Structure 1
Amino acid sequence: MGLQAMSSKRAYNWFISLVAASCMVLYGYDASVFNSVQGSDNWVAWFDNPNENLLGGINTAYTVGAIFGGFFLGGPASDYLGRKMSMGIGCAFVIVATFMQTFAPRGNIACFIGGRVLIGIGQGIALTAGPIYIGELAPSEIRGKIMTFWQMFYSVGSFICFWIDYATTRAPQLGEWDWKLVIIFQLLFPILIICLLPTIPGSPRWYIQQQGDVEKARNALRRVRDTEEEVEDEILQIREALEYEKEAISSGYSALWKDKSIRKRLLLALVMNAGQQLTGQGSLNTYSTKIYEKVFTRESQISLINALNATFGILFTLNAIWFIDRFGRKALLIGGSIGMGLCMIIVSAVETETANTADGGKSEPVGIAIVFLFFFFILFYKPSWGATVWIWTAEVFSMNVRAQAVGMASQTQNVANTIFQQFFPTFLNNDGFYAFYLFAGINFLLGLFVWFFIPETKQVPLEEIDALFGGANHVTQGEEVLANRKLDSRGRDILDKPATVNVENVEAN
């Protein structure tokens, strides 16, 4: 096992997965960039001092774009153009939108908002394709470990953004470039991803499902599997599952409502992804500066805390690598819910039961304690409801609906975030840190939800996961279907024929 883990093909499997996971850097960076630039006096002056409603509209423009991209474009793009092509398209949107925001004419807030919408659309497409690609190429025994980097790269994006922002606050001579630099550095990863996409194989499941080309699927798997036996076993499982889905369910998205077990999974995934943003993490990401303003009075302190929070977020997410395939998804989610709930109770009590100083903040020991408790919250969140929700969502859907279902489920995060964050600032202003008792209750309820409704998916092959949700085992059921349809009049395997449809190979090896 140790030798297998160190093989060149296993290392290459990690490489291609990390390329796909880099799409999450786009999300992490952009989730932090607007929070950073709106604190710049130069940005405020450049766009004629936008009021609070307009600031809210700029933030909402991104989420609307992401919801549209994820719900309506991500699934079809991943299915019909391919996982690789979709990641490239999403990155291209981000590149164009970054230039629109950076070089928006003075006072032209509409151009800036348009860039925010395009970035949302691009991320909605890329964030649908990325986890699907990882789930379809990674071996089941390390799928959880690899998908951990998906969430960790969110923290990488925040890390880069917040430290660039901190550096620009220390260089007042930059003028208007103090905010433009923060935005234009967003080009780094989409350009890198586009350059690396030609070095990774296409999805073998996509080749068989959309092109009917078993040989291309076989060649793709040979690049990431150690033995020919593994390749042939996986090819057979994919074909059996696809044949059953075509015969017994539907090869299209209608299975989302026709198949009872898929409907169940979609509902569970929607709750899980919405719950991820209601743990309190969504509010900390969006309003960390406003939250810390109730504790600290110096802007430099808050900027440094945000940067450190992103740094520790990377380290804390790495914990999932050791835990996800050892203890399983369910245990991590429940343990994370309990830990986050307790942190929210304690941080609320510490802030509300201590006196303010003369300048309206808190004493240094109290401030340090609150920061420590929020960091402790992140310690519980990152490997559980941060990483594991993405892992679980990417692996529970059958092939015929996987792209569309993952796109819809993941963008539920933005739906929940958009709705909740509209009233959270008012809640925080009126009730202060008492608001965090609400998050404690939500976290405990989420733990109960997982306990009663979420099955364990650790190390279950993707083609066999349906049986966990009351559905048929698509591999087993597909054996009979494939056996009956296997040969044509000349005794040749139908599915081994070259693809008859003239589709440009957008996922060329």
Structure 2
Amino acid sequence: MGILAKVEDRPTPKEVYNYRVYLSAALASFAAVMIGYDSAFIGGTIALTSFRTEFGLDKLSTTDVAFLSANIVSTYQAGCFFGAIGGYPVSTLMGRKLGIFLASAIFLVGAVIQCVAKGSIGFGPIYAGRVIAGFGIGMASNIVPAYVTEIAPPAIRGRLVGFYEMGWQIGGLVGFWINYGVSTTMEISHIQWLIPFIVQIIPGAIMLIGSFWLRESPRWLLNRGRSEEAIRNLCWIRNLGEGERYVQEELAMMEAQKESQRQSIGLDFWAPFRCIWRNSHIRNRLLLGASLFAWQNGTGINAINYYSPTVFKSIGLTGTNTGLFSTGIFGVIKTTVTIIWILYLIDIVGRRRLLLIGSFGGAICMYAVGAYIAIANPSKNPSATVPPGGIAAMFFFYMWTVFYTPTWNGGPWVINAEIFDQGLRGLTQAVCASSNWFFNFIIARFTPQMFNSMGFGVYMFFASLMILSIPYVYFLIPETKSVPLEDMDYLFGKGMRPWNAHEKVMRRVRERAEEREMNERQRTPDDMHKMKGDVRELERKGTSSPADSV
């Protein structure tokens, strides 16, 4: 299969894969550029001599510096946690489009506040700005994956939700390198460390402006009773006319799902809460989705993202610029592998298999890095050059990046954006996004202390968690690639086993498509005339035709 091959759930006109759906996903995914940039730039900026000197960090003990660094980094995650929860009422009552606009506006306010910080007034503006910016990002992390999922054709859904991850990596790449750039090209000054804070305004502004171009999710509009607008937006996104068979089929499936939701869940604001509380199957699915972020953070990724200079120093690299350069290479590898993931791996190899591969390969690499540090103890045996063992450790660290990036980095986001009904997606996405930020906060808050007290044990700890995630994924997480959103309940249904559920669901999808095709071929002009007469008779009697008669 080619690198851009698609596995379709039904015959799909080529017009469906148009620039509008790709550009909509890309613009919304600028939220992830903001997230990725923050996770990459903040640790390196704190390590700059200009920042440390202006705020007096160079006069503090290692323990005190670790404490302050953890506070600066983790206030952002705290804001994200509450923003993810707040995203539910916004996206449910106001819509995905307005939610994206508000999230970017709140982020920009926080980013500007951070830029007024200076040594004479202390860390106050940084703390306050990062909490506010984090709140906006938390909202976006809830709303954007749901929005992209709802507008995406099934065959490229993983690829489009993957744009969110691509944005994360692009932001991270810029964030990793900007500190190296200002460190090597600028004199030590206030503006040197301020520039990385200013740059985060750019992706926020792009997302804010882009939100005016986006079209509201047709699924959300349909659920709010705005059918005509939903049809117009669906036709615009799919680049097809209202009378096209593909559009009619999609509308019929959306209407059927809405009716099913009305009967099983309800359409009011509190209906998802009641459904999750009463339905153990949905609760278990939500627990699975939220727990994926615990395993994701258990890989150690956010310890590396936020404190990359500390990580490279533990391997034996000395000098601020050397650490920042190594961090930049880390960002390049992540971005390159993410492109491959989006174009090929996510919708061809699938989600489940990638998670298993990432856990096994990543654990081996992390054990190797920890073993080197345990044996060579580079912090106690400094050297002007990196010894061969250190070079090997660097190789395994970068190999860990290759294993982690196309697997655990974006996999949990894609899966959680797919596995819940339209009526539940706003609430479940809020829970899962807040789960991500909660575990992210834990890692960001305690990583400096872990490195100070555990040494090489930090790497052994994260490697062991990756090994433990293997049976978790194998026995509990089914494959979701190419599965229509309307069939997710069947995928997680009673009697289904995660290791073969996907095969059963896709067999059912193919049979349904073949049956529709056969019925279409067998219809004669007289049959079509009779069907239209039957529909008119039903309407005259005050009943509506079934959705599958469209």
TM over 0.5: yes
Shift of 1:493: 6.3
State the match for 1:244 in structure 2. 260
Contact 1:336 1:384 in 2 (8 A): yes
Q: 1:377 to 1:458 in 2, by over 3 A?
A: same
1:436 is the counterpart of 2:468: no
* Of 279-288 and 487-496, the range deviating more from structure 2: 487-496
Question: Given the alignment, which residue of 403, 425, 433 partners 1:410?
Answer: 433
Question: Given the alignment, which residue of 283, 289, 305 partners 2:303?
Answer: 283
1:303 is the counterpart of 2:324: yes
Contact 1:148 1:318 in 2 (8 A): no
In the alignment, residue 109 of structure 2 is paired with which amino acid?
V
Structure 1 residue ranges without an equivalent (≥5)? 477-486, 497-509
Partners in 2 of 1:46 and 1:81 — Cα distance? Answer: 43
Contact 1:67 1:411 in 2 (8 A): yes
Shift of 1:355: 6.0
Q: 1:247 to 1:25 in 2, by over 3 A?
A: same
1:191-340 aligned at under 5 Å gives the runs 191-210=205-224, 212-225=225-238, 227=240, 228-251=244-267, 252-254=271-273, 255-294=275-314, 295-321=316-342, 322-340=344-362
Secondary structure in 2 aligned to 1:401?
helix
Deviation digits for residues 189-229 of structure 1, max 9, x if unmatched? Answer: 1111222222222100110112x011111111112325521
In the alignment, residue 465 of structure 2 is paired with which amino acid?
I
Partners in 2 of 1:39 and 1:268 — Cα distance? Answer: 37
Shift of 1:399: 1.1
Q: 1:279 to 1:233 in 2, by over 3 A?
A: same
Partners in 2 of 1:462 and 1:27 — Cα distance? Answer: 27
Partners in 2 of 1:327 and 1:248 — Cα distance? Answer: 34
- TM-score of the aligned structures, taking structure 2 as reference length: 0.82
% of aligned pairs identical?
28
Secondary structure in 2 aligned to 1:455?
coil
1:130 is the counterpart of 2:144: yes
Shift of 1:261: 2.1
In the alignment, residue 139 of structure 1 is paired with which amino acid?
P
Partners in 1 of 2:415 and 2:388 — Cα distance? Answer: 39
1:352 is the counterpart of 2:360: no
Question: Given the alignment, which residue of 137, 142, 146 partners 2:156?
Answer: 142
1:164 is the counterpart of 2:191: no
Shift of 1:167: 1.2
Partners in 1 of 2:397 and 2:246 — Cα distance? Answer: 45
Partners in 2 of 1:442 and 1:262 — Cα distance? Answer: 26
Partners in 2 of 1:145 and 1:236 — Cα distance? Answer: 25
Shift of 1:277: 0.8
In the alignment, residue 278 of structure 1 is paired with which amino acid?
G
Question: Given the alignment, which residue of 20, 23, 33 partners 2:28?
Answer: 20
State the match for 2:515 in structure 1. none
In the alignment, residue 411 of structure 1 is paired with which amino acid?
S
Partners in 2 of 1:64 and 1:284 — Cα distance? Answer: 19
Shift of 1:185: 0.6
Partners in 1 of 2:385 and 2:367 — Cα distance? Answer: 18
Task: Report the structure number with the largest CA radius of gyration.
Answer: 2
Contact 2:73 2:306 in 1 (8 A): no
Question: Given the alignment, which residue of 189, 192, 205 partners 2:203?
Answer: 189
Contact 2:47 2:309 in 1 (8 A): no
State the match for 2:400 in structure 1. 377
State the match for 2:101 in structure 1. 88
State the match for 2:524 in structure 1. none
Partners in 2 of 1:494 and 1:85 — Cα distance? Answer: 34
Deviation digits for residues 288-340 of structure 1, max 9, x if unmatched? Answer: 21121121111111011111111211111122231222222111111111111
Contact 1:69 1:124 in 2 (8 A): yes
Partners in 2 of 1:276 and 1:4 — Cα distance? Answer: 34
State the match for 2:498 in structure 1. none
Deviation digits for residues 328-385 of structure 1, max 9, x if unmatched? Answer: 2111111111111111112222332236485357734333322221111111111111
Contact 1:217 1:235 in 2 (8 A): no
Partners in 2 of 1:6 and 1:250 — Cα distance? Answer: 35
Shift of 1:164: 1.7
Shift of 1:463: 1.8
Partners in 2 of 1:307 and 1:122 — Cα distance? Answer: 27
In the alignment, residue 140 of structure 1 is paired with which amino acid?
P
Partners in 2 of 1:492 and 1:169 — Cα distance? Answer: 72
Q: 1:426 to 1:56 in 2, by over 3 A?
A: closer
- TM-score of the aligned structures, taking structure 1 as reference length: 0.88
